[in-house]
């Protein structure tokens, strides 16, 4: 059993093709562990309505903003945003609404947060499908969010569709089985041959952590549960 440290300000990228074990680990390992962090709220952009274990839901950016900032503290620990249309503009509005109180978003006033927000984008290519363009608010989260504990989790089946800004700026990349194209054109390009080889040699449902915070790729066996730590600072895998 190994322990890695994921701070509230750390960005995460989760990659894995269909049937690789990505969804199970995302729902029952990563998400549950991250939700243990104190003074931190999880917002899941759930276009397929898959995360039904999260009972609080909203269907508009304005409702999300009110849930987070309408009272002195958020109305809960986690919420699902279920968009009507999986479009880039929709995701951008949810990201904007989650950043700060609505008045501050539109007035441009500086917002001093009292709690962190981790924004989880499930099936990210449904909203963002260009490796070369990074829309305004997605860029703001991954480039400016750390200082305000505004962090992003981006999940995708294909690495090639993820913005290069996101790939370059995340603190932790969890790779499950990937296509040969993704291993050679994305993982090797950003993390080197050793990382690409580690991903290519993964056991079924296993995954590898790639991060500048560690000297070498860290390979993990399939998640078998429960393995969730009491500490809010670490994620036991």
Residue 2: the pLDDT is: 61
Phi-psi category of 175—alpha, beta or left, where left has phi over 0 and alpha has psi -120 to 50? beta
Residue 210: which residues within 8 A CB-CB, separation 6 or more? 172, 173, 174, 175, 187, 191, 195, 217
Percent of the chain with pLDDT over 70: 93
Q: Would the pTM of this model clear 0.75, i.e. be above it?
A: yes
Band of the pLDDT at 191, cuts 50, 70, 90?
very high
Average pLDDT score over residue span 58-70: 96
Q: Does the pLDDT of residue 69 top 60, yes or no?
A: yes
Helix, strand, coil % over all residues of the chain, rounded to 5: 35, 20, 45
The CATH number assigned to the domain holding 129 equals 3.40.50.300
In the predicted structure, residue 234 carries a pLDDT above the cut 60? no
Residue 4 has pLDDT above 70, yes or no: yes
CB neighbourhood size of 236 (10 A): 15
The predicted pLDDT at position 164 comes to 96
Write out the two tokens for 237: 């895998």
> Is-contact 209 173, C-beta < 8 A?
yes
Q: How far apart are the C-alpha atoms of 163 and 131, rounded to whole Å? A: 4
Mean pLDDT over residues 67-82, rounded?
Answer: 96
Instruction: Give the torsion through C-alpha atoms of 121, 124, 127, 132, to 10 deg.
Output: 120
Average pLDDT of span 70-91: 94
Alpha carbon dihedral 219, 50, 93, 56, in 10-degree steps, equals -110
Between 20-29, 67-76, 88-97, the lowest mean confidence (pLDDT) is in 20-29
What does the pLDDT look like over 92-146, one tens digit per residue?
999 999 999 987 777 767 788 899 999 999 999 999 999 999 999 999 999 999 9
Backbone angles phi, psi at 191, to 5 degrees: -125, -10
Report the pLDDT averaged over residues 210-237.
Answer: 73
Dihedral over Cα of 44, 45, 51, 54: its sign: positive
Is a pLDDT exceeding 50 seen at residue 237?
no
Domain that holds residue 77: 3-236
Q: Is the pLDDT of residue 63 over 80?
A: yes
230: left (phi over 0), alpha (psi -120 to 50) or beta: alpha
Q: What is the mean pLDDT of the segment spanning 163-183?
A: 97
pLDDT value at residue 21: 92
Work out the mean pLDDT of the chain and round it to a whole number.
Answer: 91
* DSSP 8-class letter at 28: I
* pLDDT over 80 (residue 209): yes
pLDDT at residue 227 in the model: 56
Q: How many CB atoms lie within 10 A of CB 180?
A: 9
Number of domains in the chain: 1
């Amino acid at each position: 059993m190994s322990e890695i440290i994921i701070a509230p300000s750390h960005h995460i990228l989760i990659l894995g093709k269909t049937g690789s074990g990505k969804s199970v680990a995302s729902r029952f390992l990563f998400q549950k562990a991250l939700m243990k962090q104190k003074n931190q709220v999880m917002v899941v952009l759930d276009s397929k309505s898959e995360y039904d274990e999260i009972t609080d839901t909203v269907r508009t950016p304005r409702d999300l903003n009110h849930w987070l900032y309408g009272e002195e503290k958020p109305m809960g620990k986690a919420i699902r945003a279920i968009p009507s249309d999986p479009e880039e503009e929709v995701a951008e509005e949810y990201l904007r609404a989650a950043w700060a109180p609505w008045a501050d978003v539109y007035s441009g006033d500086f917002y001093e947060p009292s709690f962190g927000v981790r924004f989880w984008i499930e099936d990210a290519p449904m909203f963002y499908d260009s490796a070369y363009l990074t829309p305004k608010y997605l860029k703001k989260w991954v480039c400016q969010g750390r200082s305000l504990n505004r962090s992003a989790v981006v999940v995708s089946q294909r690495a090639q569709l993820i913005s290069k800004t996101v790939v370059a700026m995340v603190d932790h990349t969890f790779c499950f089985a990937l296509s040969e194209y993704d291993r050679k054109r994305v993982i090797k390009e950003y993390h080197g041959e050793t990382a690409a080889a580690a991903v290519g040699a993964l056991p079924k449902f296993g995954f590898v952590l790639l991060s500048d915070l560690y000297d070498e790729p860290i390979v993990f066996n399939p998640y078998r549960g429960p393995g969730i730590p009491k500490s809010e600072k670490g994620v036991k895998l």
